[in-house]
Structures are given as C-alpha cells and as structure tokens.
C-alpha cells in the first residue's frame, strides 16, 4: 500500500501520542503550529488507509484521530465531505473511534455541517450506523450551539417524518436525539411513527417512555412491552456473557393518581374521594381505616417498611431468586428506591437530602431510584443527566430496567454484549 509523505508540522501527528478511551480533554493541536494552510494535508491524513491499517501498537495508527481533532479545532468546513466519508470506515475497520469522536468533530465545526449531515442521514444507501453517527453529529451541534438548536431539531424531525422509508432503528435514534434536544414540540410526529409501528423499541422504549422523558406523562398506563424476543436459553446466555439482566415490571398496581379510581372502592375518582382526607379531619369510615399497600393498594398480607414505616405487601418470598422479575412490592421498594438504599446503607438524615446517596449512585440511576413508581414519595427537582448509551452501537440504555454489560468501564447494550460473547464463544457452546 502506497505511503503518503507528510510535511511538517502535519508529520508531527505520526509520532504524537497514543490514545485511550478515558474521556481526557483533547490537546490544543494548534500549539503544534497547525493552521488553516494545513487543512488539505490533514484531510489527506484522515482518509489515509495505510494509517488506518497501521499496527495497533504503533503511533501512526493514531494519526487520523489527531488529524480530525485538528480539523475540528480549525472549524474546517471544507473537511466535511471527507469526514462523512470516514463514517463508512466504521463498518470496514470496526473503528469505535470514528463513531465515538466524529459527532464531536461535527459539533465543533458547527452549523455549516448541518445541511450535509442531514443529506447523509436521509440517504439509505449508507450503512445504518453511519447514518446514526451523522444524526448524532446534528444533535451534538444543537447542544454546543444553542442558536443552532432549532435548525437541528427541524432537520431531525424532517427525517423522522420519512419513518416508513427509514430503518426502524434509525427512527429510534432520531426519537432519542429529539429527546436530547428537549424537542417536545415534535411529539405529534413521534407518536405517529410509533402508531405505525416504525420505531425500534430497544433504542428509547415505547411512546409512553418517550412521553415520560418529555415530561408530559408521569407514569405508564400500560405494561411495558417486551423489548427482546424470547430465545431458548437466553437467561443462561445473559449470565455467561456477564450481562446485567433486563428488569421486567409486572407489578399489579400503583399508587393512585388524582384522576384514577379511588382504591377504597367507592367508584369515585381519587381526588373526589379519599385524597387529602387525613389532612382535612374527614371522619374515616371503617373501610378507610383498613391498611393498604401504598404501592398496589392490596389490604391483605401487609407489613411495614423498615425504612419509612409505610404499609406494603409482605411478599418478598414471592420473588424467585435469579428471575429478576419485579413482582414483589416489598423488594421493589427496598432495592429500587433511594429510600430503600438510604436505609440499607445506614445513612443519616432524610434520603431526599442525603449527599452520600447522591454522590454514591450514578446520576441516571439516582434519578430513576428517586422518581420511579416504587416510591411512596418522589424526589423533587431531580438533577439532569446525559442519557447512557452503548459504547459499541450508541443505543440508549435505560439503566433502571434494561439489560447491559460493563466492558473496560463502559456500558454495552444487551444486543452488542450478546453478539460479542457469541462471536467469541459461540463455536464452543455449539459443540455437543
């Protein structure tokens, strides 16, 4: 393969440094003397296949990464076509650096990249995850430049309007990115795509999940649909592959909302019946005095929670070890809430004000544990967080209930973890 000769200071990147996925801040490449006049040579470097195929322990293999970072810092609009051309190499070389960094590169270039990224997303001839990476570039621009956010929302929604022509997985990511941009005004388009069954549910969940993300719905009104086909021996494969199991919510009831039927059985809405009676001095009937589980409303086989002294089903024995089902009110509250965690860790004070809980639990899980339906009272003003995404394919992973695996400190979705595991050990498992 022909090797390209590079001139100083571009050639400095051939021996600059090796990199690792550690979230470190990019160096200031312009301090190496690189400037606008070097853009053509840098564009050549990012596409140089001899460098992409260099030995993995060499410094040369990192030169394209250094080059595209430099182009980003130079805001080199003329490099956009070459950068888009790199997206196909993600598939060719299985190069995670491309999908990991190019969205940030496009973001640093800014609004001038939006039209070409949009065109790329809409071209179904491109590899699916190259389209998704381009879409992530658009959302990254919207986050970095608030003045361009509406243009990014418009571009993503316009592509979602073609949901019948798109791959369902692409539609799932478009929905996820619109959530990232807090584009609640796009809900009509999103709902229509879900109604026509054109969205991959494994990316962002179903339409109710999306509505909860946008803040227009508090809790689900239907059971969460299964996200994965039932495969014979799947649970055993998950265990062998080191995948945290999916969490299935099959609890039979929930704390009533204001407009729900009152759990006392009167037939009236909760807000028109028992809501607030304790505060108003209302004289309780005999039925009002019957203890009820604060989560599902049942009146038999109850106990008190040790953490917050609330009535709850005494049903932990119903849980089958290793099933990971969420069919026990007692277990759900003790394991999947901040209140239960605060008590189990023997922290002091109230769980809502506990800094130990806040610092000791990843922010996404902290918010989930504080706001899910297993709480008797919910966390007010939960902190914002960046959604967790698979380091391999970029799909959204909902840490509260979806399966995932940890590899080298990064999250992998269940699908990628399973594919990786089967790729390594599938032949061994198929032996008689």
- What's the pLDDT score for residue 273? 46
* Angle in degrees, CA 314, 318, 319, rounded to 5: 115
Question: With left for phi above 0 and alpha for psi between -120 and 50, is residue 297 left, alpha or beta?
Answer: left
- 248, pLDDT greater than 80: no
Under 8 Å between Cβ of 125 and 146: no
Under 8 Å between Cβ of 48 and 65: no
* H-run or E-run covering 411: strand 410-413
- 27, pLDDT greater than 90: yes
* Angle in degrees, CA 183, 189, 192, rounded to 5: 140
| 3-state DSSP assignment of residue 267 | coil
Residue with tokens 């940030």: 104
Rounded to an integer, the average pLDDT of 419-431 is 62
DSSP state of 146: G
Which residues, 6+ apart, have CB-to-CB distance to 30 below 8 Å? 70, 73, 74
pLDDT band at 267 (very low <50, low <70, confident <90, very high): very low
3 phi/psi in degrees, rounded to 5? -100, 130
Q: Which residues pair with 311 in a beta bridge?
A: 304
Rounded to an integer, the average pLDDT of 96-107 is 90
Q: 353 or 90: which carries more pLDDT confidence?
A: 353
Q: Which of 311-315, 325-329, 425-429 has the lowest mean pLDDT?
A: 425-429
CA distance 207 to 290: 37
Most confident of 276-280, 304-308, 324-328: 304-308
Rounded to an integer, the average pLDDT of 413-426 is 76
* Angle in degrees, CA 9, 15, 16, rounded to 5: 75
Q: Burial of 322 by CB count in 10 Å (0-12 exposed, 13-18 middle, 19+ buried)?
A: exposed
Rounded to an integer, the average pLDDT of 119-148 is 94
Q: 20 or 6: which carries more pLDDT confidence?
A: 6
Rounded to an integer, the average pLDDT of 265-276 is 45
Q: Which of 186-195, 216-225, 345-354 has the lowest mean pLDDT?
A: 216-225
Q: What is the pLDDT of residues 152-194, one digit of tens each?
A: 999 999 999 999 999 999 999 999 999 999 999 999 999 999 9
Rounded to an integer, the average pLDDT of 145-151 is 96
pTM: 0.59
- What's the pLDDT score for residue 291? 83
The fraction of the chain above a pLDDT of 70, given in percent, is 80
Q: 233 or 121: which carries more pLDDT confidence?
A: 121
Under 8 Å between Cβ of 203 and 169: yes
Most confident of 31-35, 299-303, 385-389: 31-35
Q: What is the pLDDT of residues 39-81, one digit of tens each?
A: 999 999 999 989 988 888 899 999 999 999 999 999 999 999 9
> Both tokens of residue 65?
């990464």
Q: Cα torsion for 348, 352, 354, 360, to the nearest 10°?
A: 120
Q: 364 or 326: which carries more pLDDT confidence?
A: 364
End-to-end CA distance of the chain: 44
């Amino acid at each position: 393969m022909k090797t390209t000769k590079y001139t100083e200071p571009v050639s400095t990147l051939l021996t600059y440094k090796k990199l690792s996925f550690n979230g470190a801040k990019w160096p200031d490449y312009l301090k190496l003397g690189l400037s606008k006049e070097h853009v053509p040579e840098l564009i050549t470097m990012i596409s140089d296949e001899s460098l992409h195929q260099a030995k993995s322990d060499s410094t040369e293999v990192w030169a394209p990464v250094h080059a595209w970072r430099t182009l980003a810092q130079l805001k080199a609009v003329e490099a956009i076509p070459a950068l888009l051309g790199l997206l196909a190499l993600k598939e060719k070389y299985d190069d995670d650096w491309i999908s990991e960094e190019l969205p940030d590169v496009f973001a640093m270039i800014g609004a001038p990249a939006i039209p070409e990224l949009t065109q790329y997303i809409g071209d179904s001839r491109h590899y699916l995850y190259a389209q998704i990476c381009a879409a992530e570039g658009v959302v990254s621009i919207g986050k970095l430049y608030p003045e361009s956010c509406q243009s990014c929302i418009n571009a993503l929604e316009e592509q979602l309007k073609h949901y019948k022509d798109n791959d369902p997985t692409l539609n799932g990511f478009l929905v996820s990115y619109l959530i990232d941009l807090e584009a609640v005004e796009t809900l009509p388009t999103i709902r229509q795509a879900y109604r026509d069954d054109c969205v991959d549910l494994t990316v962002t969940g179903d339409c109710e999940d999306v509505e909860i993300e946008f803040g227009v719905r508090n809790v689900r009104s239907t059971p969460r649909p299964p996200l994965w086909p039932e495969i014979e021996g799947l649970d055993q494969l998950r265990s062998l592959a080191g995948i945290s199991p999916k969490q299935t919510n099959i609890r039979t009831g929930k704390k009533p909302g204001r407009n729900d039927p009152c759990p006392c059985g009167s037939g009236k809405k909760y807000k028109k019946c028992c809501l607030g009676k304790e505060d108003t001095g209302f004289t309780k009937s005999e039925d009002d005095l019957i203890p009820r589980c604060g989560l599902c409303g049942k009146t038999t086989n109850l106990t008190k929670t040790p953490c917050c002294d609330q009535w709850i089903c005494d049903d932990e024995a119903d849980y089958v070890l290793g099933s990971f089902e969420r069919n026990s009110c007692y277990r759900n509250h003790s394991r999947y809430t901040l209140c239960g965690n605060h008590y189990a860790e023997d922290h002091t004070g109230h769980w809502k004000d506990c800094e130990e809980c806040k610092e000791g639990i990843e922010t996404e899980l902290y918010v989930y544990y504080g706001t899910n339906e297993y709480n008797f009272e919910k966390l007010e003003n939960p902190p914002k967080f960046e959604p967790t995404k698979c380091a391999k394919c970029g799909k959204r992973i909902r840490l509260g209930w979806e399966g995932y695996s940890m590899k080298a400190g990064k999250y992998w979705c269940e699908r990628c973890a399973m594919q990786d595991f089967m790729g390594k050990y599938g032949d061994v498992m198929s032996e008689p």
